[in-house]
Structure 1
Amino acid sequence: MTTSDANATAVRDELKSRTLSSIFWSVLRVAWSSLATFLIFVVLARLLRPEDFGVFALASLFFEVGRIIANGGLPDAVMREHTLDEELADTAFWANLAFSVLIAATVFLLAPLYERWTQMPGVGELLRWLCLLMPVAALGGIHTARIAREFGHRSMAKQTLIVSTVAGVAAVSAAYLGFGVQSLLVQAALTNVLGALLAWYYLRWTPQWRFSFARLRQVISFSAGMMATQLLWVLMVRVQDLFISRVHGAAAVGQYRVAWRTIELIGQIVLAPIGSVSLITLSKLQHQPDAFASAYQRLIGGAALVGLPLLFGFGAIAEELIAHVFGRQWAGTGAIAEVLVFMAVPFVLNYISGPALAAINRSWTVLAVSALQLACTILLTWIAVPYGLVAVALAYVFRAYLTAPVQQLALCRGVGTSVASSLSSLSAPLLLSLAMAMAVWIAKPYLAAELGHGVPLILVCTLLGTALYVLGIATFARAITCRYLEPLKALVLHRNR
């Protein structure tokens, strides 16, 4: 082996180690955040009405759209840079802050018009308060991107622990004291303020007073593509709220959001950490096609190994779990969640394929795919919304499978991998997860006859599903599992030396 080959191998091993470490801390960070958020969400769901969640969901939709436009994809551009210079970092910081102030002022002025269009009293006032948080969030955006770029996910885990706990406790206290929907505003405010403060604390970097239009132009194509893609992604997920609000009212929006929130929880715990690290890791391999393809397949397989059984397993007991955890006012939400889990395969792929395309500077390809997904979502939702919330969920699942092949073909052309290799990474976890969920679904009526429909049934079904999936993996997919656990084992042994 030549010296250059040895150096390249050492660099890849170091990148693999840092990637696995970052995934570990990202999983820990998101797991804590999701657990804390979920527990707080459960308490808030019992203290607040579905209408409160519906009104806040409509206000936060416009806020999220404005925030994404204000960011302009600049944090992603900073993370993607192979070698980051301070002039670009300073430029990105001041551009992000300036855009945020401008967009916040625009949203503030448009809030009354948005309220009249949604026909939901109170949406405009909430939106005006939320838009004041845009510049605050922008103060920590580039700092957080730089922390992530250097695999500083341990610091990000600490930051998330503090922010989610403080903001959540404050929101529950406000709801208990009778503040109603304003409790959710309290949570959003503390999340953004504390997040920005801690980002500056963990990255002791003070931007200099300089701005380079030339440096901004060098990344504007990528950042604009990422911004547009994120915007389309949010609209794709949330545009259904607008249809539901006009046909079925705020309470229906709240029910649909809660069903979605339970699905998103699984994605945030196990898929979002892998997706966030994917962009950084794959960006560093963008000039090594073979290594890139290998890393991509491992990321897809690892995401499927843990994501698919959680999604399908949740679907098997969704109705009982949601009814027991959230209370009677959320009746019917479980049926929506049961339908949404069937989009599990494209749901998992989306978390990895998007970052993979972005890593090879195909942000405009991601944009085109996202535009197609949004257009199909709008059309199918418009057709389905008169028939109820379950029909809207079915429309979304159908859309997910309709557009997934387009995304995968675009990735194959850009990366050089194949659809067959991606499907092979998914096949074993998918088949075993489906078999497990079906077994739990068949056994559930018999178990309910003995245990009732409360906590004992939920616990037994969960244990049964876990045992069946682990047994299936050990029997039929041991080699695949070892493929993903071996690097983690090596990392642990390395840390213990």
Structure 2
Amino acid sequence: MAGHPEIAGGTRLSRRAAGAVGWSVVRFGGDQVFGFVVFAALAHRLDPATFGVFIVGLAVAEVGKIVAQGGLVSSLYRAPEITPRLADTVFWGNLGMGVLVAIACFALRHPLANAMGSPAAAPVIAALGCVVPVSAAGASHMSRTLRAFGHRALAIRSFGAGLIGGTLALLSAQAGWGVWALVVQRFASEAVGTLVAWHAFRWRPGLHFSWTTLRAQWRLGVGVATSQLLLVALNRTQDMILGRATGPVGVGVYRTAWKSIEVVAQGVISPFATVAVPTLAKLRHDMPAFRRGYVEMVSASAMVAFPAIAGIGVLADALIPLLFGPQWGESVPVVRVLCLLAPPFALNFFADPALTVLGKAGIMVRLAGIQLALTLLFCLVAAPYGLVWFAVAYVMRAYVTLALQLALLQRATGVLAREVLGGIAPALGAALVMAIVVWGTGDTMPVEGDSRSLGALARIAFLVTQGGLVYVAVVLAFMGRSRRMQLAAFLRRLRLQRQPT
């Protein structure tokens, strides 16, 4: 290896990326588990209308968070060297915008709530707006930690953040705070997350803020932020349309179904996508390695995500009442439709990181704009026909734009669409076979009584175990010997190595 430093460097990067994925799974998994436990516990205590109110407030806060950070933190990944001037400019720029967003949310809370079709959400908008500067204060530290593959430290401490936020939310719910329990969870998680980032990356901002540096980074930053805003708008446009068509109840039912799918996607795909940014950034000068790394990450994430999402869809009739309560039964058919989003989910998580590190922000904005326009068209047409057809329309839109995304990605990066689709094909085929087997078996196992009865729980456990065994057997058969060896090599690297902090 000494005679081939480029190979040695590539191997080290591959191992660091694999270890970072492992720790990211721990970090995102902890966050998602605590968040989902709290969400499920509150779902048993709150009605769909109350959840709808919170979702409206959260929509505004998410937009504000993107505006505050402005995509500037992406410059910390791309810069060959982070100078004090660049670091201070990004930090103070993020924090200043965060304060402005908080002020805007408070001042405009009533007009914003009315525009979203939920006047009762005004105080929630104001409260969640105050969380934005708290998050912005840790954004630079988080990005610089991730740049150095410091996922281990963040995983350990992020677990504590989820525990604290979840515990406070549950105590608030038990005290009868209703929707404010969700607000408490959001504030506590972001506050502890910022403290985690400060502790993981020991750096104090100075006074080297430079308008010249800010303007130099602004072009890429604005492009990334605009793309992120448009992608958030994809989801929140649905909330606005549903709020107008069905009121907060429809929003609450739809978002509960969405949460069931999102928690899996965030937990198993986000760790790979987070590692993709620093990994691909280091490979951007070696495009063959860049393309191989991209396909490998997409394939690995699909291998975990597809069976999990398919399982949620097949078992939705048993899982939704168990997790959220019988009042959420209307979410079951919506969940089954939304689970068809698995391939677009897996691929969407990686397209933006790849384009970001190559400085192709314009393509991201163009694609996100097309997605938003088609979402408006499809969902406006479907809204009068109910939640299920609304979900069908969104899924159809996702596949239409997925084809466009693959074409644009191939043109910008050279990552061939057929290689990407070939990379996810074994996981997709095995997940489909698994879903058919589990669905057929489940129909032969009717259970009398409550969703929490011993018989109902035993049925779920049996079907989950059966599905896992079927999936593993089929995916190994689909992959062939060479792909199985590649997967085995990747899994050997995917161990929790000690990462630099």
Per the normalisation by structure 1, the TM-score is 0.95
Residue type at the aligned position of 2:142: T
Name the counterpart of 2:67.
69
| Deviation digits for residues 10-43 of structure 1 (CA, Å, limit 9, x no counterpart) | 2111111110111010011111211122122111
Residue type at the aligned position of 1:395: A
Name the counterpart of 1:464.
466
Distance 1:112 1:404 in 2: 37
Distance 1:114 1:18 in 2: 44
Name the counterpart of 2:212.
214
Does the 8 Å CA contact 2:227/2:365 hold for their aligned counterparts? Answer: yes
Name the counterpart of 2:457.
455
Does the 8 Å CA contact 2:355/2:364 hold for their aligned counterparts? Answer: yes
Does the 8 Å CA contact 2:22/2:495 hold for their aligned counterparts? Answer: no
Does the 8 Å CA contact 1:235/1:374 hold for their aligned counterparts? Answer: yes
| Deviation digits for residues 97-129 of structure 1 (CA, Å, limit 9, x no counterpart) | 111112221222111111222342321111111
Any unmatched runs of 5+ in structure 2? none
Aligned to 1:447, the other structure's residue is in SS state: coil
Per-residue deviation, 1:81:
2.3
CA shift in 2, pair 1:228/1:84, >3 Å: same
1:249-328 aligned at under 5 Å gives the runs 249-328=247-326
Distance 1:252 1:162 in 2: 34
Per-residue deviation, 1:491:
6.1
Distance 1:352 1:435 in 2: 26
Residue type at the aligned position of 1:273: P
Distance 1:349 1:86 in 2: 35
CA shift in 2, pair 1:151/1:339, >3 Å: same
Does the 8 Å CA contact 1:354/1:366 hold for their aligned counterparts? Answer: yes
Per-residue deviation, 1:492:
4.8
Name the counterpart of 1:484.
487
Match of 1:236 among 234, 237, 241: 234
CA shift in 2, pair 1:314/1:329, >3 Å: same
Residue type at the aligned position of 1:161: F
Aligned to 1:209, the other structure's residue is in SS state: coil
Does the 8 Å CA contact 2:138/2:195 hold for their aligned counterparts? Answer: yes
Residue type at the aligned position of 1:469: Y
Matched, 1:390 2:388: yes
Per-residue deviation, 1:490:
4.5
Per the normalisation by structure 2, the TM-score is 0.95
Distance 2:25 2:425 in 1: 24
Distance 1:126 1:41 in 2: 17
Matched, 1:342 2:340: yes
Per-residue deviation, 1:474:
3.1
| Deviation digits for residues 64-86 of structure 1 (CA, Å, limit 9, x no counterpart) | 11111111001222123233222
Does the 8 Å CA contact 1:319/1:333 hold for their aligned counterparts? Answer: no
Residue type at the aligned position of 2:485: C
Aligned to 2:283, the other structure's residue is in SS state: coil
Does the 8 Å CA contact 1:104/1:132 hold for their aligned counterparts? Answer: yes
| Greater relative CO (CA pairs within 8 A, separation 6+) | 2
CA shift in 2, pair 1:195/1:246, >3 Å: same
Name the counterpart of 2:197.
199
Aligned to 1:417, the other structure's residue is in SS state: coil
Residue type at the aligned position of 2:457: V
Does the 8 Å CA contact 2:69/2:97 hold for their aligned counterparts? Answer: yes
| Identity value in percent | 34
Residue type at the aligned position of 1:458: I
Aligned to 1:47, the other structure's residue is in SS state: coil
Aligned to 1:477, the other structure's residue is in SS state: helix
1:138-157 aligned at under 5 Å gives the runs 138-157=136-155
Distance 2:496 2:141 in 1: 32
Distance 1:80 1:481 in 2: 34
Distance 2:148 2:100 in 1: 30
| Deviation digits for residues 371-395 of structure 1 (CA, Å, limit 9, x no counterpart) | 1111111111111111111111101
Aligned to 1:48, the other structure's residue is in SS state: coil
Aligned to 1:73, the other structure's residue is in SS state: coil
Structure 1 residue ranges (4+ consecutive) displaced by more than 4 angstroms after TM superposition? 449-453, 490-495
CA shift in 2, pair 1:481/1:318, >3 Å: farther
Does the 8 Å CA contact 1:82/1:284 hold for their aligned counterparts? Answer: no
Name the counterpart of 1:118.
116
Structure 1 residues 444-453 or 267-276, which shifts more? 444-453
Matched, 1:51 2:17: no
* RMSD (Å), alpha carbons: 1.8
Residue type at the aligned position of 2:7: T
Distance 2:333 2:94 in 1: 41
Does the 8 Å CA contact 1:82/1:283 hold for their aligned counterparts? Answer: no
Does the 8 Å CA contact 1:80/1:279 hold for their aligned counterparts? Answer: no
Aligned to 2:111, the other structure's residue is in SS state: helix
Does the 8 Å CA contact 1:79/1:146 hold for their aligned counterparts? Answer: yes
CA shift in 2, pair 1:493/1:238, >3 Å: closer
Matched, 1:178 2:180: no
| Deviation digits for residues 411-453 of structure 1 (CA, Å, limit 9, x no counterpart) | 1111112111111101111111111101111221102269996
Distance 1:473 1:178 in 2: 47
Name the counterpart of 2:351.
353
Per-residue deviation, 1:337:
0.5
Distance 1:223 1:254 in 2: 33
Distance 1:200 1:494 in 2: 22
Does the 8 Å CA contact 2:84/2:208 hold for their aligned counterparts? Answer: no
Any unmatched runs of 5+ in structure 1? none
| Deviation digits for residues 338-365 of structure 1 (CA, Å, limit 9, x no counterpart) | 0001121111111112211112111110
Distance 1:491 1:194 in 2: 28
Match of 2:444 among 442, 446, 458: 446
Residue type at the aligned position of 1:109: A
Per-residue deviation, 1:198:
2.2
Residue type at the aligned position of 2:461: L
1:97-112 aligned at under 5 Å gives the runs 97-112=95-110
Per-residue deviation, 1:205:
0.4
CA shift in 2, pair 1:405/1:447, >3 Å: same
